[in-house]
Amino acid sequence: MSDQPTDVSPLSLNRLSIYLRCLTQLRDQGIARVSSKQLAKQFQLSAPLIRKDLTQFGEFGIRGTGYEVEALITRLRTILGLDREQRIVVVGMGRLGGALARYLELNRGAFRIVAAFDSDRRKVGSKVGAFKIHHVSEVPQVIPNTGAKIAVLTVPPRSAQRTCDALTEAGIRAVLNFAPVQLQVNPEIRARSVDVRIHLEELAFFVQS
Amino acid sequence: MSDQPTDVSPLSLNRLSIYLRCLTQLRDQGIARVSSKQLAKQFQLSAPLIRKDLTQFGEFGIRGTGYEVEALITRLRTILGLDREQRIVVVGMGRLGGALARYLELNRGAFRIVAAFDSDRRKVGSKVGAFKIHHVSEVPQVIPNTGAKIAVLTVPPRSAQRTCDALTEAGIRAVLNFAPVQLQVNPEIRARSVDVRIHLEELAFFVQS
DNA sequence: CCGTGTGAAGTCCTTCACAGCT
DNA sequence: AGCTGTGAAGGACTTCACACGG
C-alpha cells in the first residue's frame, strides 16, 4: 500500500508514539523547531536513537537546524496510520472495558469505537456514547459491517482465547488483550497483551532489594 | 538481603511471571513434572530460553526428568517476592483506578491494597473493600504508616508527575503508571508505564499493510 | 559551527549445540 | 535415552564517531 518499511521493531514503533506525544506538547507550547538532543533530554532517551528511529521512514530533519515540529507530527501520524480513522471494537464491557471505552471516547484521536460486546444480556442493547452494546454471539455478524480491524479484549480469562478466535474469524487484524492469558494467534494477526499482574510482579521483585 | 542476582533483564523477569502463571495452571490440572520443551510449547517461547531464565537463580531442574511443578512454583514466588505480602496503594480512584482496585481485591495474591487516594473530596472517606479512600494531600502522612512500597498511579496526565514525586517522597519505591506521560524518576525508583494509546497506535501501524 | 544521517563498533539478548547427570 | 545446564555462535538493538549539508 505504501512504501513504508514493514519490519519495524516494536520498541522503535512505541518510541515513535512517544515522540508524537511529546511533539504535540511542544507544539502546544508554541515551539516550532526542535533538535534530537532537545527531544532526548525531555524523556530519558539518546539523541542518535531518535534519529535512527526517524530515518527508517525518510529524512525529514534539517541539518544544522533540527526538525520542524508541525511537519514531524504530520509525518509521524501518517506513518502510524493516525491520519485515517481507526475503527475499534471493545469486547467485554465490565469495569475495565467500560473505563477504557470512556477514556477512548473522551480522547478520541484517530481511534473511534464503533461497537461494543458483552456476554451479559442485561447490558446488551444499551448505547454508550456513539456506539451500541451487542451480545458476544453477534461478533460474526456485526464486526464485518463496522469495518473495524482492531479489538480491545477485556473479557474474563476463561473466554479470552475463544473470543479472540471469533474476532479474528470476523476480520479483526489486531487485538489489545487485557486478560491475563497468553493468546495464541496466527502470524498475520497482531496481539499485544497488557497484564497488570505481570507488571506488579516485576515491581515486587525490585522492591525486595 | 538475599543472594539473588540484582541485574535481571526486565524481559526475563516478565517471562518468569508468565512461567509462574502457566505452572499454576498445570498444577491445577494435576501435573507434577514438566520439561522446558513442554513449557515452551504452551506459550510461544523457546526451551533454551526458559532454562536460561531459570538458571540465573540456581539449578532447580532434574536432568533427564524436567522440573517439579510445585517446587518451581514455590521457587519462582520467592524469587519474585510473592511469598511476602506486597502492600500497594492506588492513587486516583476514577473509573480505571476503581476497576484496577476491584480486580486486585478479587485476585488478591501477594498484593494487598492498603490505601487509596483521590483528589475528589466527595470520594474521600468512603471504604472500598478493606481499604479507605484518602485525599491526595494526605499521601505524606498515610503512606509511611501503611508500609506500602508499590503504587498504582491512575490520575489525570496533568497531575501525574507531581503525584509521583509526592509518592516517592513518602517512601514509595516502585510506580505502575497508567497516565499517558513519561515519568521522570530517580534511578533508585522503578517506574513502569502502561499506555493504552501507545499500544493502540502500534496496532494501528500493523493494520495498515 | 551546528545538527542530521549513517556505517562501524559495542552491548544485550536469544539460539545453538553439546557436555553431563539421571 | 531424555533433559538440564552452559559456553559459543548468532542476531537484534543501541551507541559511537564522523561525514555531510545548512
pLDDT tens-digit series, residues A15-30: 999 999 999 999 999 9
Annotate A77-141 with three-state secondary structure: HHHHCCCCCEEEEEECCCHHHHHHHHHHHHCCCCEEEEEEEECCCCCCCCEECCEEEEEHHHHHH
Which residue's C-alpha is at the least distance from the C1' of D17?
A48
Three-state DSSP state, A196: helix
Q: What is the Cα–Cα distance from B149 to B172, expressed in whole angstroms?
A: 4
Interface test with B, best of A197, A200, A209 (most B CBs within 10 A): A200
Q: For residue B149, give how far its alpha carbon lies from the nearest alpha carbon of chain A (Å).
A: 7
Q: Which residues have a Cβ under 8 Å from the Cβ of A60 and sit 6 or more positions away? A: A54, A67, A71, A72, A75
Q: What is the DSSP letter of B121?
A: T
Instruction: Tell the CATH topology of B10-79.
Output: Arc Repressor Mutant, subunit A (1.10.10)
Segment (H or E) for A18:
helix A10-28
The answer to whether A6 CB is within 7 Å of strand D is no
Say what the pLDDT of residue B209 is. Answer: 82
Spell out which residues of chain B touch residue A82, defining contact as CB-CB under 8 Å: 201, 204
Query: Which residue has cell 495498515?
Result: B208
Interface test with B, best of A107, A161, A201, A202 (most B CBs within 10 A): A201
CATH number of this structure's domain B86-198:
3.40.50.720
Q: What is the Cα–Cα distance from A51 to A74, expressed in whole angstroms?
A: 17
Residue ranges of the domains in chain A?
10-79, 86-198
Q: Which nucleotide is nearest to A62 (CA to C1')?
A: C4
Q: Which of B133, B128, B102 is nearest to A96 (CA)?
A: B102
Q: How confident is the model at residue B2 (pLDDT cuts 50, 70, 90)?
A: low
Q: Which three cell numbers stand for residue B103?
A: 480486580
Q: Which three cell numbers stand for residue A182?
A: 497468553
Q: How far apart are the first and last CA of chain A?
A: 50
Q: Which of B11, B183, B161 is nearest to A44 (CA)?
A: B183
Model confidence pLDDT, tens digit, residues B18-34: 999 999 999 999 999 99
Q: Which nucleotide is nearest to A49 (CA to C1')?
A: D14
The answer to whether A67 CB is within 7 Å of strand C is yes
**Whole-structure pTM value:** 0.95
Q: What is the DSSP letter of B84?
A: S
Q: What is the Cα–Cα distance from A28 to A23, expressed in whole angstroms?
A: 9
Model confidence pLDDT, tens digit, residues A29-79: 999 999 999 999 988 899 999 999 999 999 999 999 999 999 999 999 999
Q: What is the Cα–Cα distance from A23 to A122, expressed in whole angstroms?
A: 44
Residue A6 has pLDDT above 90, yes or no: no
Residues making up chain B, counted from first to last: 209
Q: Which residues have a Cβ under 8 Å from the Cβ of B95 and sit 6 or more positions away? A: A95, A98, A99, A102, A103
Model confidence pLDDT, tens digit, residues A153-179: 999 999 999 999 999 999 999 999 999
Q: What percent of chain B has a predicted confidence (pLDDT) above 70?
A: 99
Spell out which residues of chain B touch residue A103, defining contact as CB-CB under 8 Å: 95-96, 196
CA A23 → CA A8, A73, A76, distances in Å?
Answer: 21, 7, 10
Quick check: do A10-79 and A86-198 share a fold? no
Q: In this structure, how many other beta carbons lie within 10 angstroms of the beta carbon of residue B40?
A: 16
Residue A3 has pLDDT above 90, yes or no: no
CA atoms within 13 A on the CB side of B15: 20
What amino acid occupies position B157? P
Segment (H or E) for B196:
helix B196-207
Model confidence pLDDT, tens digit, residues A68-126: 999 999 999 999 999 999 999 999 999 999 999 999 999 989 999 999 999 999 999 99
Q: What is the Cα–Cα distance from B39 to B56, expressed in whole angstroms?
A: 18
Three-state DSSP state, A171: coil
Q: CA of A152: which chain B residue's CA is closest?
A: B200
Q: For residue A96, give how far its alpha carbon lies from the nearest alpha carbon of chain B (Å).
A: 5
Torsion of CA A35, A36, A42, A43, to 10 degrees: 170
CB A100 within 8 A of CB A90: yes
Could you tell me whether strands B174-177 and B33-34 are parallel, antiparallel, or unpaired per DSSP bridges? unpaired
Q: What is the Cα–Cα distance from A153 to A57, expressed in whole angstroms?
A: 31
Could you tell me whether strands B111-118 and A67-68 are parallel, antiparallel, or unpaired per DSSP bridges? unpaired
Say what the pLDDT of residue B4 is. Answer: 79
